[in-house]
Amino acid sequence: MSEVHKFLFDGLPVRGVLVRLTDDWREVLRRRSSSTAQGVYPASVQNLLGEMAAAALLMQSSIKFDGSLVLQVLGDGPVRLAAVEVQPDLGWRATVTLHGPVSERASLSDMINLHRGGRCAITLDPKTRQPGQQPYQGVVPLQGEQDEKLEKFSDVIQHYMLHSEQLDTTLVLAADDQQACGLLVQRLPVQGQDNLSGSSAHASEDGFGYSEAYQRIALLTTSLKREELLALDANTVLHRLFWQEKLLRFEPLQGADGPRFSCACSRERVAKMIVGLGAEEAQSVLQERPDIDVACDFCGAQYRFDAVDVAELFRQDLPHPPCSGALQ
């Protein structure tokens, strides 16, 4: 069962989240292999998408936000688009669009940042938007401080958090064909954080001690190996890394409250898309084939509209009959 574990370091402005995606991650891979002509992802792409899924769940779990979080990579290599969408209830879906073959062992930059044109975008789309309100989006390139190509997806997110959110963040991400896992620790702005109200002899008021404490915790976090994150359960990981720290653990989020595969596609949404194409375009598709077939990129669901369905869509769309001729 997939799970999210949140925790605080008692008396320090540092919080953490650990996520482990299991059955829902395998469901994403299974749907991909059974519903698309391309079949399974190469291992390199699969692991990238798994790390992105873990990262998106970590971010959605560590913000107070009532809306969807979309983590996207817009690549300039064979991976054109990789996207993960997480709802506030932790339902999530993911997809990758490939353009050409990808080696099983391709590096991150080979896949998404071949010519330094790759981007990572994070979009927060509130559930209820005010009229005219746009979703918030932050975009970062896939190069680091020295303009070097980043080769770990965790570095991309760390870079994003520091530059877009001004938050010191340390992540470890790992994925294979069975699970996708991540561990995040983040330094919180000192003012107004209620976890500081507890007793603490760790740090001084000026924040110097806090910074030291964060560095220590970040170092412990990065000592976690990819294989350990995949192989060990959450309690063992947290105990091994932080046995000398005082952790305040929250009830794990799992089952109906935890991460699970969920796709928001529906026949109505696809119908709206066809209406958006316009009657002329829809008719021209129907002249070449008997149906308009649309497959959901995220879950593989097939939606089929025949000529009668399409005529019905446009009849509904036009409550008043159009003028019956150009001569009027």
Residues that bind Zn ion (CB under 5 A): 263, 265, 296, 298-299, 301
Which CB, 57 or 299, lies closer to Zn ion?
299
- According to DSSP, the β-strands at 260-261 and 91-98 are parallel
Return the H-helix or E-strand segment holding 307: helix 307-317
The Cα diameter of the chain in Å comes to 87
**């669901």: which residue's tokens?**
301
Token pair, residue 112, equals: 């998404």
What's the closest the beta carbon of residue 259 comes to Zn ion, in angstroms?
A: 17
Return the H-helix or E-strand segment holding 180: strand 180-187
**């769940």: which residue's tokens?**
57
Best CA proximity match to 234, nearest among 250, 218, 245? 250
CA 264, CA 88: separation in Å to the nearest integer?
A: 13
CA 202, CA 95: separation in Å to the nearest integer?
A: 44
CA 36, CA 129: separation in Å to the nearest integer?
A: 34
Which CB, 282 or 299, lies closer to Zn ion?
299
What's the closest the beta carbon of residue 156 comes to Zn ion, in angstroms?
A: 26
CA distances from 296 to 32, 146, 307 (A): 11, 40, 20
What's the closest the beta carbon of residue 90 comes to Zn ion, in angstroms?
A: 17
Which CB, 71 or 157, lies closer to Zn ion?
71
Which CB, 160 or 298, lies closer to Zn ion?
298
8 Å CB contact between 42 and 81 = no
Which CB, 73 or 263, lies closer to Zn ion?
263
Which CB, 265 or 285, lies closer to Zn ion?
265
What's the closest the beta carbon of residue 229 comes to Zn ion, in angstroms?
A: 29
What's the closest the beta carbon of residue 227 comes to Zn ion, in angstroms?
A: 33
What's the closest the beta carbon of residue 198 comes to Zn ion, in angstroms?
A: 44
